[in-house]
Amino acid sequence: MDVMNKKIVVRLEKELSLVEDFVGLIRTSSEKALDVQLAVLRVLTQKNKNILFVSTTRPYSNIFTLLKKNNIPTNKITIFDTTGKREPETNEEHVSYFDIEALTNLSIEINTYITVNNSDTVIFFDSLTTLFINNKQDVFLKFIHFLLTKIRINKSSSILISFEKEGTGDIQDIMQLCDKIVII
């Protein structure tokens, strides 16, 4: 593992052992965000889950390069890229592009993905903080509440990352909807 911190992987393997029908929130610093994101993907791929990775911080090409560099299998990872950087004519079937402020469109596509893949699915958000910054608070909270409800109804799971020192009330309102909160 070139970039990923092995201690974080071991910790998340222990903390995320309840990944069935599970909503977990990981609070971390922006300095540790990349290590935590890669560690989550490592743990989830080891559990052989279909992963819908909603990326708000890195474009698809960067994510794909990091996954390959860290020997994280990509065959069960679908990326919803909301960074605004569209790749030129990619033939990759595991990526879709969304406007970070178009939460309705994103919600419809996530709901479709959950319905098709059902309980074998983990929805992974790399930064709730970035979503919050780019949307009105009430719209953001309704979006997250709706999605977490859909995830539970379909017996899927979700892992959410939030940056500790950024934002205020954004995550406090969501914490009550989570089964476990991990601080790294």
Residue 109, number of CB atoms within 10 A of its CB: 16
* Average pLDDT for 180-184: 88
Assigned domain for 43 exists = yes
Assigned domain for 29 exists = yes
Assigned domain for 62 exists = yes
Assigned domain for 56 exists = yes
Residue 80 phi/psi, 5° resolution? -105, 105
- CATH number, position 146: 3.40.50.300
Question: 162, 127 in Cβ contact below 8 A?
Answer: yes
Reading the block at residue 32, the tokens are 């540790």
Assigned domain for 1 exists = no
pLDDT at residue 170 in the model: 57
Reading the block at residue 68, the tokens are 């390959």
Does the pLDDT of residue 5 top 50, yes or no? yes
Q: What is the pLDDT of residues 21-41, one digit of tens each?
A: 789 999 998 888 899 999 999
Assigned domain for 119 exists = yes
* Domain range for 104: 23-183
Q: What is the pLDDT of residues 67-122, one digit of tens each?
A: 999 999 998 899 999 987 666 555 566 778 777 778 888 999 998 888 887 767 89
Total domain count, the chain: 1
- Residues contacting 128, CB < 8 A, separation 6+: 25, 144, 160, 161, 162, 170, 171, 174
Q: What is the pLDDT of residues 110-161, one digit of tens each?
A: 988 888 877 678 999 998 888 888 888 888 889 999 989 888 888 888 999 9
Query: Does this model's pTM top 0.85?
Result: yes
Residue 158, number of CB atoms within 10 A of its CB: 27
Reading the block at residue 55, the tokens are 């990326």
pLDDT grade, residue 66 (50/70/90)?
Answer: very high
Write the CA distances from 21 to 17, 27, 56, 83, 118, integer angstroms.
11, 20, 24, 28, 11
Assigned domain for 86 exists = yes
Assigned domain for 6 exists = no
Q: Is the dihedral of CA 15, 19, 23, 27 positive or negative?
A: positive
Does the pLDDT of residue 17 top 90, yes or no? no
Reading the block at residue 118, the tokens are 């059902």
C-alpha span between 116 and 111 (Å, rounded): 9
pLDDT at residue 123 in the model: 92
pLDDT grade, residue 20 (50/70/90)?
Answer: low
